[in-house]
Each structure stands twice: as C-alpha cells, then as structure tokens.
C-alpha cells in the first residue's frame, strides 16, 4: 500500500512526534510512504531524526508541489489543526482521488473542520491534543485498523 502523509504548519508541538509515530507504524506494516510537507515541518522532522531511523525510505515532496506533480497512491492521511490544513487535505483528495483520512486536533477541536472534511467524503478522526501526542496516537491506531485491515 502506498500512503501519502500531509503535514503543514508545524506550530503545534504534537505534530512532529505524531508524524514520526505514523511513519513508523506505516513502514512497520509494509507501506510505502511519501511525505508532503511544508519546508519548516520537513526541517523539524529531519532535525528530530538525524540518523534517519524513521525517515529512511520515506519519499518527500513540498506540499505545494504535491498538488502539481500527482503520484499514484492508495491512501492519504492528513493532520489538520487550522483552515489551511483542512483546505490542503480537501485539495489533495480532489487531485489524487484516493481514500483520504484526516486527524483534526488542537487545544480545542473545531467542529467546522470535521464537518468540512466529512462533506468531502474524508474519513475524519479528532483528538484534543496540543502538547501531549497520546490522544493523537490513539486515533492513529484506530485509523490504521480501518485503513490497512479493512
């Protein structure tokens, strides 16, 4: 299974560890992973994993270029904590026409984000999380059960 993971603005502290956790889970299940990220998020991931233990074998593309240079993928997973992230996830689903999953998170979960994503046919999970990644990790496990073992 080829999975595209989208991460945008890395402002929330939970984003980088949650992304690394997801990459590890996907790779351990034999998935090929491509990461579409904004430059700051990519630099944070590279800094957090200098030996490339988790990033080894992961493909990378700029989040903007991912909308122009379409790759073949089986599924898309996006992290959404702001309007821009919601819009990117919806745009990627439209361009790639792949099964798409989103995790909406933040200090407070915004119901309008969930509604907007679900209106576009995106399977959406939510977690109240900003500093502690454990609520997101629980949702990632739930999402992967549906995505991979469905």
The arithmetic mean of pLDDT across residues 90-118, rounded, is 98
Residues 2-12, mean pLDDT to the nearest whole number: 95
Tally of structural domains, the chain: 1
Mean pLDDT score across all residues of the chain: 96
Domain, as residue range, for 56: 2-149
pTM for this predicted structure = 0.96
Q: What percentage of the chain exceeds 70 in pLDDT?
A: 99
Give 134-143 pLDDT, tens digit per residue.
Answer: 999 999 999 9
Q: Does residue 149 carry a pLDDT above 90?
A: no
- pLDDT level of residue 150 (50, 70, 90 thresholds): low
What would the mean pLDDT of 107-117 be, rounded to a whole number? 98
List alpha helices for the chain, DSSP H.
15-28, 39-48, 65-68, 83-96, 111-119, 134-149
Q: Please give the share of the chain, as a percent, with pLDDT higher than 90.
A: 97
> From CA 136, how far away is CA 127, in angstroms rounded?
6
Contact present, 102 and 80 (Cβ < 8 Å): yes
* Structure confidence by residue, pLDDT tens digits, 15-47: 999 999 999 999 999 999 999 999 999 999 999
> What pLDDT, on a 0 to 100 scale, did the predictor assign at position 148?
79
Closest CA to 128 of 45, 12, 30: 12
CATH number for the domain spanning 17: value is 3.40.50.10160
């Amino acid at each position: 299974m080829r999975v595209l993971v989208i991460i945008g603005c890395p402002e929330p502290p939970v984003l980088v560890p949650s992304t690394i956790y997801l990459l590890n889970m996907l790779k351990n299940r034999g998935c090929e992973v491509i990461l579409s990220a904004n430059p700051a998020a990519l630099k944070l991931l590279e800094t957090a994993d200098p030996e490339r233990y988790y990033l080894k074998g992961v493909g990378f593309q700029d989040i903007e270029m991912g909308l122009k240079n379409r790759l073949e993928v089986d599924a898309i997973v996006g992290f959404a904590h702001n309007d821009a992230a919601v819009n990117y996830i919806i745009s990627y689903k439209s361009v790639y026409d792949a099964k798409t999953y989103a995790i909406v998170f933040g200090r407070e979960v915004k119901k309008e984000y969930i509604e907007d994503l679900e209106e576009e046919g995106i399977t959406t999970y939510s977690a109240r999380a900003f500093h502690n990644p454990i609520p997101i990790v629980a949702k990632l496990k739930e999402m992967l059960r549906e995505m991979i073992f469905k």
